[in-house]
Amino acid sequence: MTTATLADALGELKAALGAKVTENDTIREHHSKDESFHLASMPDAVVFAESIADIATTLKICNAHRIPVTPFGAGTSLEANSTPIHGGVSLDVSRMDAIVRVDSSDLDCTVQPGVRRKALNEHLAKFGLFFPVDPGADATIGGMAATGASGTTTVKYGAMKELVLGLTVVTANGEIVTTSRRARKTSAGYDLTHLFVGSEGTLGVIGEITLKVFGIPEVIAAATMQFPSVRHAVDAVIEVIQFGIGVARIELLDADAVSAVNCYSQTDLPEQALLLMEFHGSEESTRIDIAATREVLERHGGTGLRQTTDEAERRKLWQARHDTSLACRSLVPNARNFATDVCVPISRLSDCIEETQRDLAASGLYGPIIGHVGDGNFHVVLSVDPNDHETVAKMEEFHTRLVRRALAMEGTCTGEHGIGVGKSITSSMNSECPPYRRWRRSSRPSTHTGS
Amino acid sequence: MTTATLADALGELKAALGAKVTENDTIREHHSKDESFHLASMPDAVVFAESIADIATTLKICNAHRIPVTPFGAGTSLEANSTPIHGGVSLDVSRMDAIVRVDSSDLDCTVQPGVRRKALNEHLAKFGLFFPVDPGADATIGGMAATGASGTTTVKYGAMKELVLGLTVVTANGEIVTTSRRARKTSAGYDLTHLFVGSEGTLGVIGEITLKVFGIPEVIAAATMQFPSVRHAVDAVIEVIQFGIGVARIELLDADAVSAVNCYSQTDLPEQALLLMEFHGSEESTRIDIAATREVLERHGGTGLRQTTDEAERRKLWQARHDTSLACRSLVPNARNFATDVCVPISRLSDCIEETQRDLAASGLYGPIIGHVGDGNFHVVLSVDPNDHETVAKMEEFHTRLVRRALAMEGTCTGEHGIGVGKSITSSMNSECPPYRRWRRSSRPSTHTGS
C-alpha cells in the first residue's frame, strides 16, 4: 500500500460513500485498539457502513487498490481482533444496528451485525425470548459471530458456533453470499455458515446474522457452593455433566478470584474454590435439577449451598462474576488485563488448572482463575502495569507454558476469544523479543500524516 | 479416464495394496448401488481400505492418474451418494470398523469410518453411554458424517453436524488433515470439521471421527397421541418446542402412514394423524415432561394418550416407525421407494404438508407422510414400480413441485439425505427426459470389460 494508492482509494470511497468515510484523528484513534492489553495501531481511515451495499462498496474499492480492511464492531475483543495492524480502512458496522425480524414460532431472529447483545435481549424480551451467549462485554452480534464467542451459558445453550443459523457475508471482492436458508436442518451442500463463524473477518465481512433464540424460562434459580480445592469442584462438575443434569451455567472461581470479587463487588462469597450455578426451567424441574446437582456436589466435598430465585440477587451475583476481570485489575495499580483462554477436554481440566496454579506460584505471578468449567475453558486473569517490563516478560513466558500445557492435553489456545493479532504473534514466541514489543517494531509505519 | 490410465492405476494400486484391490464382478456389483430408487453404475475396481494409510495410498495413485474415487460405507444412502457414476474406484471403508477410544468423562469417542451405528451403540452401552443419531438404516458413522445425517432424536440431541467433534480426513492428493483437537470449545481458526461434515466425499475421505456421546437416560418413556388433522398435530409440536419441553423424539405419521404401519408391523395405532414421542430423563423429569406435553397436545385437539416405559413395547413402536418405508413399499407390487426429504422452518410446516397432501391427491399418487416435525423435516414415501413409467414421471413432477414449495418457504430440498447423485440430477429438472433415464443415458460406458 503506497500513499498514492491509499489516496486514490480514499478518493473513490468518499465519492461513493460521502460522509460515511472519515480520517478524523479521534475517530481513527477509537478504532486503533480494543479492550485488550495489546498495542494500538491506527487505521488510515474509518468507513461507517450503513448497509450491506456499503460494505460491498468498501470492499470492492479497497480490494481493487489492495488496501487492508479490518471490520470493527464494539471494540470489545480481547486479542486485538479488530485492530488494523496494517493500517488501511477500519470498517465500522456499528450503525447497522437494526433487528430485522424476530420469529417466535421458529425461535429465530435476523439482525444486522452492529446490534449489541444487551439491546438484542431487551428487544427479544418483548416476545418472551432471549439469546443466551454472554461474553461478558456488551459486544456486537457481528463481532461475536466473527470471533466464535461463547460465555457462561454455553454449557446448556451452546456457543455462537451452535447458535448462528445463517449469515449474509460480503467477500473481499464485494460479492454477497447467503450461507443458508431458514430451515433448522439441511444436508444440502457445504456448511458455509460454520466456515465464516470464527473466521475473524479473514474470509469476508458479516452483513446479517440469523440466530437461534430461546423462550425465557419460567424459573431461573441461581446457586453457589464452595469446595476444599479446585480439583474437588471440577470433579464435581464433570459428574454433573456426565449425568446430564440440566445446569444452564456452572462457573468456577478460585479463592483468589472470589477475594477479588468480594472486594470489588461487595459480595460476601466464601473465599474458597467456588461454583456459581444457574438452573432454567419450571418450578418443579429447577427444584429437581438443584437437588440432583447438590447431591453430586456434596459427594465431592461441596458445602454451603446458597440459592435464590430473586432476580435482583441473581443479577448481582452474575454481575459480580462478569466483573471479575475488573475486580482483579483494580488490585494492581495502572494495570491492564492480559486474558488467557485455554480450553481442554474436561477430563484434563483439574490437571490443567492445578499445574497452572503451581506455575503461577513458582513464577510469583498474581493470577486469579475463572472458568467455564462445564466446557473445559478457563481464564487466568493477569493484571499488569504495561510499563512493568519485568512482570510483562514473566507473564508472557507463563502464557506460552500455559498454551503448551493445554495443547499437550489435546486442548486449544483459545476457547472463545479468537486468535486475533494477539495470538498470531504469541504463536511465534521463540524470539527473545516479547510480542507486544515485537508488534510495535514490525508494524508498518502509518502512511497517514500525523499518526 | 482412458483404458490405459485405468490399467496403470490398477497396477499401481495392486502393487501397493495387494488383495485389498479387486475387480471381482459380484463385489463391483455390490458397490454399484445403494438403497435408493436410483440406477446402479459399476465401479471399475473396489479397494477395501484397512487404514488411513490405505485411503491415502489409494487417493494418491488415483489422483495421479485422474481416476474417479467414490467412498463407500454400508451402501444405505438414499440419493445414490455412494454410487460411482463415473466408474473408477469404489473406496470401501467397511473394514475400518474399530472403535478407537471411548471416554466417559469427556463424553466422547473416536471411531473408524466403517463402524456401524448399532455396533457403536452396543459397545457404548457397556459404558452406560449412547450415540443418538438414528437415520433408520444401520449406516456407517463415516457415511453418516459425510452425508450430514440426522434422525428421530435430532430434536433433542442434534444431527451429525452438532455431534461430530473432529475428523481425520484424507484429501484428494493423499494429505492427512485433522480438523480439530479434543476440547469441547475452540475459537482457534477455521471450523474445518463442519466443512467436511455433509461434504459427501467431495473434499476428502473421512478416516476417523470423534463423536459426542451421552449417558443413557435413567428412564425412557414412549407415548403416542392422535389428532383430527396433520395441522392440529404440527401446531401442537410447534408449541411444545417453543415452550422448551424436553422431548427426545416427536415424530408425525399421517393417517396413510399409520395404516401402512399397522398392516406391516401388526400394531393397532389409531389411523389418524399421529404423534410418536419419547422422553428421556429421570422418573420425575419424564413424568413432568409428559404432563406438560400432554397439556399442550390436548389444547390442540390431541386425544388418546398412550404411554409406556416397557422396553419391549417401546422398541416395537420405534421399530414400526423405522419400518414405515418398508411398510409403504410392501403395499405396491414390485415397488422401490423414492424418498423425498424437504425441510422448512417449523412455522411453515403445516402449510407445506397440507399443500403437499393436496398435491398428492390431485396427482393421484399414493404417498404416506412421516416427519421429524420438531425439525421441520418430512418425507413423502413414494413407492413405485420402476417399470411403471407413467407413475414414475408423475412422481418426479410431484417431487419437483415439492422441492420448489419448500424452497419458496425458505426451506431446503434435503434435511438429512444429502444431495448425492439423485438430487444433483433432479436439480436440473426442466428437461423432458426423466432423471432416472437421463442418468443412464449420460453415464459413461464402463471401461471395464463385461460390465
Is the model's pLDDT at A444 over the cut of 50? no
Test A182 with B345 for CB contact under 8 angstroms: yes
- Dig out the grid coordinates for A324 from the structure: 471479575
Test B377 with A217 for CB contact under 8 angstroms: no
Q: Which of A187, A417, A423 sits opposite B418 (nearest CB)?
A: A187
- Chain B hits for A411, CB-CB cut-off 8 Å, are 181-183
Test A345 with B376 for CB contact under 8 angstroms: no
**pLDDT band for position A1 (cuts 50, 70, 90):** confident
Max Cα distance, chain A (Å): 70
Q: Which of A161, A183, A416 sits opposite B343 (nearest CB)?
A: A183
Torsion angle in degrees (nearest 10) through CA of A355, A358, A359, A365: 140
- Chain B hits for A217, CB-CB cut-off 8 Å, are 244
Which residue, among A81, A150, A167, A186, would best test binding to B if mutated, counting the most B CBs under 10 Å from its CB? A186
Test B195 with A199 for CB contact under 8 angstroms: no
Test B416 with A341 for CB contact under 8 angstroms: no
**What pLDDT is recorded for position A429?**
39
Q: Which of A150, A188, A199 sits opposite B185 (nearest CB)?
A: A150
Test B105 with A238 for CB contact under 8 angstroms: yes
Whether domain A99-215 has CATH 3.30.465.10: the reply is yes
Phi, psi of A247 (to 5 degrees): -90, 140
Test B184 with A413 for CB contact under 8 angstroms: no
Strand stretches in A42-157, DSSP E: 45-48, 69-72, 89-92, 99-103, 108-111, 129-130
Q: Among 3.20.20.20, 3.40.50.970, 3.40.462.10, 3.40.50.150, what is the CATH number of B217-413?
A: 3.40.462.10
- Chain B hits for A416, CB-CB cut-off 8 Å, are 185, 187
Q: Tell me, which fold does domain A220-415 have in CATH?
A: Vanillyl-alcohol Oxidase; Chain A, domain 3 (3.40.462)
Rounded to whole angstroms, the Cα distance separating B192 from B179 reads: 5
- Tell me the pairing of strands B99-103 and B108-111: antiparallel
Which residue, among A168, A187, A378, would best test binding to B if mutated, counting the most B CBs under 10 Å from its CB? A187
- Chain B hits for A288, CB-CB cut-off 8 Å, are 282, 284-285, 288
CATH architecture of A3-94: 2-Layer Sandwich (3.30)
Which residue, among B109, B185, B212, would best test binding to A if mutated, counting the most A CBs under 10 Å from its CB? B185
The 10s digit of each residue's pLDDT in A373-386 is 999 999 999 999 98
Test A187 with B149 for CB contact under 8 angstroms: yes
Place of cell 450455578: A277
> Mean pLDDT over residues A156-163, rounded?
96
- Chain A hits for B78, CB-CB cut-off 8 Å, are none
| Angle, in degrees to the nearest 10, between helices A255-265 and A311-322 | 120
> Mean pLDDT over residues A305-310, rounded?
94
Is the model's pLDDT at A428 over the cut of 90? no
- Chain B hits for A150, CB-CB cut-off 8 Å, are 185, 187
**What pLDDT is recorded for position A425?**
67
CA B168 to each of CA B177, B180, B270: distance values in angstroms, whole numbers, following the listed order:
6, 9, 47
Rounded to whole angstroms, the Cα distance separating B186 from A412 reads: 6
- Chain A hits for B154, CB-CB cut-off 8 Å, are 185
- Burial pattern A349-378, b for ≥16 Cβ within 10 A else e, equals bbebbeebbebbeeeebbbbbbbbbbbbbb
Q: What string of H, E and C letters represents the secondary structure of B4-72? A: HHHHHHHHHHHHHHHHHEECCHHHHHHCCCCCCCCCCCCCCEEEECCCHHHHHHHHHHHHHHCCCEEEE
Phi, psi of A380 (to 5 degrees): -95, 120
From B189's Cα to the closest Cα of chain A, the distance in A is 6
From A185's Cα to the closest Cα of chain B, the distance in A is 5
Rounded to whole angstroms, the Cα distance separating B140 from A405 reads: 35
Which residue, among A129, A185, A238, would best test binding to B if mutated, counting the most B CBs under 10 Å from its CB? A185
Averaged pLDDT in 10-residue chunks for chain B of 451 residues: 90 98 98 91 97 98 97 96 96 98 95 98 97 95 97 95 97 96 93 97 97 94 96 94 90 95 92 96 91 97 95 91 91 89 95 96 95 95 91 93 97 95 63 41 35 28
For chain A, the domains span: 3-94, 99-215, 220-415
- Burial pattern B207-226, b for ≥16 Cβ within 10 A else e, equals bbbbbbbbbebeebbbbbbb
- Tell me the pairing of strands B273-281 and B219-227: antiparallel
Is the model's pLDDT at A305 over the cut of 70? yes
CA A416 to each of CA A31, A32, A136: distance values in angstroms, whole numbers, following the listed order:
22, 22, 11
- Tell me the pairing of strands A219-227 and A303-308: antiparallel
CA A279 to each of CA A151, A448, B215: distance values in angstroms, whole numbers, following the listed order:
15, 53, 20
Is the model's pLDDT at A174 over the cut of 80? yes
From B279's Cα to the closest Cα of chain A, the distance in A is 14
The answer to whether A397 touches A355, Cβ cutoff 8 Å, is: no
The answer to whether A159 touches A148, Cβ cutoff 8 Å, is: yes
Test B343 with A186 for CB contact under 8 angstroms: yes
Q: Taking CB atoms and an 8 Å cut-off, how many pairs form between chains A and B?
A: 196
ipTM score assigned to the predicted complex: 0.91
pTM: 0.93
Query: E strand or H helix at A263, and its extent?
Result: helix A255-265
Strand stretches in A62-204, DSSP E: 69-72, 89-92, 99-103, 108-111, 129-130, 164-170, 176-178
> Mean pLDDT over residues A365-375, rounded?
94
Query: E strand or H helix at B224, and its extent?
Result: strand B219-227
Closest-CA residue of B relative to A419 is: B188
Helix (H, G, I), strand (E, B) or coil at A394: helix
From A449's Cα to the closest Cα of chain B, the distance in A is 35
Please list the residues that pair with A47 across neighbouring strands.
A21, A91
**What pLDDT is recorded for position A426?**
52
Q: Which of B106, B186, B418 sits opposite A414 (nearest CB)?
A: B186
From B290's Cα to the closest Cα of chain A, the distance in A is 13
Dihedral angle sign, alpha carbons of residues A306, A312, A315, A319: negative
The 10s digit of each residue's pLDDT in A201-225 is 999 999 999 999 999 999 999 999 9
The answer to whether A150 touches A135, Cβ cutoff 8 Å, is: yes
- Chain B hits for A199, CB-CB cut-off 8 Å, are 190
The answer to whether B128 touches B215, Cβ cutoff 8 Å, is: yes
CA B244 to each of CA A213, A280, B247: distance values in angstroms, whole numbers, following the listed order:
11, 10, 8
From A17's Cα to the closest Cα of chain B, the distance in A is 32
- Dig out the grid coordinates for B17 from the structure: 495394496
Which DSSP letter does residue A148 get?
T
**What pLDDT is recorded for position B36?**
87
- Chain B hits for A341, CB-CB cut-off 8 Å, are 187
- Dig out the grid coordinates for A398 from the structure: 507463563
Strands in B219-227's sheet, in edge-to-edge order, are: B303-308, B219-227, B273-281, B249-253, B369-372, B377-384, B336-339
Closest-CA residue of A relative to B192 is: A195
- Chain B hits for A340, CB-CB cut-off 8 Å, are none
Nearest by Cα to B115 from B107, B124, B106 = B124
Q: Which of B106, B292, B413 sits opposite A346 (nearest CB)?
A: B106
Q: Which of A105, A150, A195 sits opposite B346 (nearest CB)?
A: A105
**What pLDDT is recorded for position B339?**
84
